Amino acid sequence: MEAAATPALLVLIVVAIVAAVVWTRRATAPALAPQARPTVPLLQSALLPSLPPVVDGLRISWSYVAASDPDAGGGDFYDAFYLDDSSVAVVIGDADGAGLTSIVTMNVVRQAIRSALIDGARPADALRRANRVLLRSEHPGIVTAIVGIIDPATLQFRYAVAGHPPPLLATADETCAPLPEEGSGIALGVVPHHVTSEHTVSIPVDGVLALYTDGLAVAGTQILAEALVEARLLAPSKPAIAIDRAIFGQRERPDDAAIMTISPEPLLAHLDVRLPAELTSAALARTALRRFLATTPLGERRSFDAVVAAGEAVANAIEHAYDRRPNQTFVLRAVWEHETCTILVEDGGAWNDIQPPMTRGRGIAMMRELCDTLEIDRTPNGTSVALGFQVAKNLADVSLVLT
C-alpha cells in the first residue's frame, strides 16, 4: 500500500513546486506594455505576401491597410503567384469576424487555395477544396473569396466567386463595370458541398481589373468605380494604392481594406503559351502574337503578314491535329534573334487527311507566300510548324521610310 502511494505523493509534490514557480514568475514579471503586445495588423502583414510577382505582360499592384482599431479587422487576404503553365493565379478574400480568430481562418483558406491551384485545380475546384478544408479545420468560419487565373500572353481571365463582390473592369472609354457573377457560389464554410460557376473574360490591353474586399467598398461601389477609372489614367504604375487613398484619405477605417489591380502591359517581351485546341483559341493566339510582335522591329506590314501566316498554322493545329477530340492543346512560341522573328506552332496530334471545302485548303501555300522560311515537321508524336520573318524582306515599310 505504502509502496503504491509513494509515486503518487512524489508527483503531487513536483506539481506543487512547478505551480509555485510559475505563480512566482507571473507575479514578479513586469506588465507587458500595450504598445509591446503583438497586434492583429502585424500578424496579418506577416502572413500575407509583401510584394506582387513581376510578370512579363502584366502589372500587378495591391494595397492592404488595417482597420483603425487594431482589434476590429484581421480577415482580409490576397495572393498572386505563377503556375506551371506560366499563367498567374490571383486570389482575394475576407474571413468573417475580427482579431486572431479571423486571421487563423483566413490563413487556412489562403493556403488551401494556393495548394489546390499549384496542383492544377481550376478556380471553382480550388474554392471547393478550400471549403472542405475550412469545414474540417479547428477554427471553422465563414469566408468570401475570388479565385482567378490570368494568362499574361492572351489576357484571358478565368475566375470563380464564393459570396464575394465581383471584380471591376475599367476600360479606355472611362467606364467601369463589374464582371459577370451569375451562378456565383455562397461563402465558404456554410455548406459541405460548395458549388460555383466559372466565368471567362478577355481583359483589353488598355483595361484595369480590380479585385477588392468589402472594406474598400464602404463608400459605395460607384465611388470605388470612379476611383478606379481615375487611377487608371493618373497612377498607372500603382493604381491600387491610389484607389485606397482616393477613397479613404486620412479618415478612420472601420474595417480592413484590401485591393489588387491587374493591368496589361502594352508590350509582351516573351511568348510561350499553351492553348486549348478549340476555335476560340485562334483569337487568343492572334492577341498574344500581336503584343509580342510590337516589341520587334518587323514593322506594321510585316507583323500583319506574320499574324496571318501563324494564324493558318494555328488553324491547322486546331482543326486537323486531333480530329476534334476534346481536352487537347497546342503550343505557340515566338522569339526574336539574329534579325529574324521565328514563330513556332506545335501540336501533339496527327494531321488528318480530310479534304477541306473548296474555299479552304490554301493554308500551307499562303504560309509559304507570306513568310521567309517555312519548316513543317510531321512525326507520329505531333507536328511542328516554324515560320521565319526577316526585317530585310519588309519592302513596303522600307519604301514608306524612304519616301
Q: Where are the domains of the chain?
A: 40-264, 271-402
Contact in structure between 140 and 130 (CB atoms under 8 Å) = no
Contact in structure between 218 and 164 (CB atoms under 8 Å) = no
CATH classification (class only), 40-264 = alpha beta
Which pLDDT value is given to residue 255? 80
Count of residues in the chain: 403
Measured CA to CA, the distance from residue 62 to residue 210 in angstroms comes to 9
| Greatest extent of the chain over all pairs of C-alpha atoms, in Å | 116
pTM above 0.85, yes or no: no
Q: Which residues contact residue 147 at a Cβ distance below 8 angstroms, ignoring those fewer than 6 apart?
A: 89, 90, 91, 113, 117, 123, 124, 126, 127, 159, 160, 162
Say how many CA atoms lie within 13 Å of 279 toward its Cβ.
1
Contact in structure between 272 and 245 (CB atoms under 8 Å) = no
Q: Which residues contact residue 91 at a Cβ distance below 8 angstroms, ignoring those fewer than 6 apart?
A: 77, 78, 79, 80, 110, 113, 114, 117, 145, 146, 147, 148
Do 40-264 and 271-402 fold alike per CATH? Answer: no
- CA 14, chain centre distance (Å): 57
CATH architecture of 271-402: 2-Layer Sandwich (3.30)
Which pLDDT value is given to residue 147? 98
Which pLDDT value is given to residue 174? 85
- CA 253, chain centre distance (Å): 28
Which pLDDT value is given to residue 293? 94
The C-alpha cell 487568343 sits at 284
Mean pLDDT, 10 residues at a time, over the chain (403 residues)? 45 44 43 42 75 93 82 82 94 88 91 97 97 91 96 96 94 90 90 94 93 82 87 83 85 84 90 91 93 92 94 91 84 93 92 50 85 92 93 52 39
Q: DSSP assignment, residue 180? A: P
| Neighbour count for residue 388 (Cβ, 10 Å) | 16
Contact in structure between 288 and 271 (CB atoms under 8 Å) = yes
Measured CA to CA, the distance from residue 162 to residue 145 in angstroms comes to 5
